[in-house]
Amino acid sequence: MKKESPDPIAARVDALLRLFPQCATEIRGKKGVSRRAVDLEALRRLLGDVAAEKPERYEFNWVGKRAAFNDAYAPTRMTLRPCPEESVDWDSTGNLYIEGDNLDALKLLQSEYRNKVKAIYVDPPYNTGSDAFLYADDFRVDCEEYARRSGRLAASGRGRSHEDETTDPRRHVDWCSMIFSRLILARELLTDDGAIFISISDVELANLRKICDEVFGEKQFIAVLNWNTKKAAQGMATAHMIVENHEYIVVYAKNPALFRFKGLERDAADGFSNPDGDPRGVWKRQYLQRFGQGLPVRTVVDPATGRVFSFETPYTQEKLDRWIEEGRIIFPRDPKKYPARKEFLAEYKNRRQLVTSLGLFPTKATTEQLYALFGGVKIFTNPKPEALIRFLIDQTTEDGDLVLDFFSGSATTAAAVMRLNAEDGGRRRFVMVQSPEPCGEKSEARKSGYANISEIGKERIRREGAKLRAELAASRGVLSQTPDLGFRVYKLAAVDEENGDDAKTFYSCR
């Protein structure tokens, strides 16, 4: 891979100056090095009255937004160091695990993965007040600087004090800047028919929608899907008789015209069964009667008992008589009830049904499953349900597609990709990115020897892979095709500018 990410700003400056060379100028950087720049006043003179100066328009803004934008496009001097000793199946796997800051990682991935990622799932910090912001990007501002730039503090330094942590707008500023720069880079990685799924809570949902509208485009919005984290039960703590037992997944597509969900399989959960062993297959009960709609009244007779039933219905008499002959009408024993018909699954031209919400994926059960994988150790609290991520990937990817998660956490997305490949024989690949955030000194993870979250994520992939290998071996005997259960580990490191890099230590990430 290249030693540094490309500089898109410089490329744009060069393109503009090729059109308007008379607007060229130079500016001196922080280290005293001069570089080419555009003289905006000269450009305005050339464009005449077409060049508008700060027109009023609808936009979402915050202190530090411009710096976050520039930070997204600034080249990085970080590189990826291969770590075969921490990897599994280094020579054959197509999966990656990158340890380091995800902003630098996203920049480095541009060279090989631009327009090649089919699905991105991320679970960023929810900004609940307890989230620790470990992303020390240049756009972050301290309290005094924020106050001056936002007009809340006089030049003398005197002014009103900051609000508490839950109302201070600086809290949202940090979060918006953090996610904005990363989403800008993430969009460039998506395929034309790709999509991004972003988990979020109520705290930043509104801001996330506005940022995504700007980065991806308002017309690229697909949906805000909700999923239940637990069942609402009497006795849950609530201040307003409203239980917060849900979270959201915001969905945007690179090109909505090309984006499709496969839809849900119709099965027993949708009322289909075959209690009478009907050779035509599974069916579900559909009532015939409609009341209060002014429909015609039809009459049917139970051939077994001679009992007569009359009711309003949209169906013709001929159709009802034919259904009786075909044995598709279910007559009730209770004369006060009404007949119904069998609706067979085979009748549906589309065996899939619409997705309205994602349903219940309990976080407590998910946490316990992860604990069990690590021998009962409370290794990582509140991981996302693997089944939930697996559903999203299954709905939007095909064999050979690439899946990215740049807030990898406990590597749930990697587990979901491997499990799905094991189920359908697919060859999907994953790229996980996780900063080595330290585990708490008194945490069970630290006591068990895991210094940071990256170590947890890598070990989970190893254990999930070993578990799947054992399951597949038990179910198939000799495996005809083992899914890719390995991964290559790379760690972000600063480029050695003095000595250069040994080209032999670099490997292709493909």
Does residue 178 surpass a pLDDT of 90? yes
Confidence bin at 139 (pLDDT 50/70/90): very low
pLDDT digits (tens, 9 = 90+) for 359-374: 888 888 899 999 999 9
Helix or strand holding residue 317 (H, E): helix 317-325
Measured CA distances, 66 to 70, 139, 160, 211, 509 (Å): 6, 8, 26, 13, 32
Confidence bin at 146 (pLDDT 50/70/90): very low
Averaged pLDDT score across all residues of the chain = 84
Looking up tokens 């509208």, which residue turns up?
213
The CATH classification of domain 78-263+354-499, taken from the options 3.90.1170.30, 3.40.50.150, 3.40.605.10, 2.102.10.10? 3.40.50.150
pLDDT at 46: 78
pLDDT digits (tens, 9 = 90+) for 248-294: 999 999 999 999 888 766 564 567 888 999 999 889 899 899 888 88
Among residues 359, 362, 330, 358, the alpha carbon closest in space to that of 343 is found at 330
pLDDT at 129: 65
Mean pLDDT within 288-301: 90
pLDDT at 157: 39
Does residue 302 surpass a pLDDT of 90? yes
- Residue 229 CA to residue 227 CA, distance in Å, equals 6
Confidence bin at 413 (pLDDT 50/70/90): very high
Does residue 137 surpass a pLDDT of 50? no
Confidence bin at 391 (pLDDT 50/70/90): very high
3-state secondary structure at position 45: helix
Confidence bin at 195 (pLDDT 50/70/90): very high
pLDDT at 475: 80
* Sign of the Cα pseudo-torsion (272, 278, 281, 285, in order): negative
Confidence bin at 163 (pLDDT 50/70/90): very low
Task: Lowest mean pLDDT of 156-165, 216-225, 475-484, name the range.
Answer: 156-165
DSSP for 440-500, please give it.
PTTSHHHHTT--BHHHHHHHHHHHHHHHHHHHHHHHHSS-SS-----BEEEEEEE--TTT-
Percent of the chain with pLDDT over 70: 81
Confidence bin at 233 (pLDDT 50/70/90): low
pLDDT digits (tens, 9 = 90+) for 26-84: 887 666 677 788 888 888 877 777 666 666 777 899 988 999 999 999 988 899 999 99
Does residue 501 surpass a pLDDT of 60? no
Does residue 156 surpass a pLDDT of 60? no
The first and second tokens of residue 189, run together, are: 């990685």
Percent of the chain with pLDDT over 90: 54
Which residues neighbour 223 within 8 Å (Cβ) at sequence distance 6 or greater? Answer: 251
pLDDT at 342: 93
pLDDT at 464: 96
- Residue 17 CA to residue 132 CA, distance in Å, equals 43
Task: Lowest mean pLDDT of 19-23, 256-260, 354-358, 492-496, name the range.
Answer: 354-358
Confidence bin at 498 (pLDDT 50/70/90): very low
Mean pLDDT within 474-492: 82
pLDDT at 327: 93
pLDDT at 380: 92
The domain ranges of the chain are 8-54, 78-263+354-499, 268-352
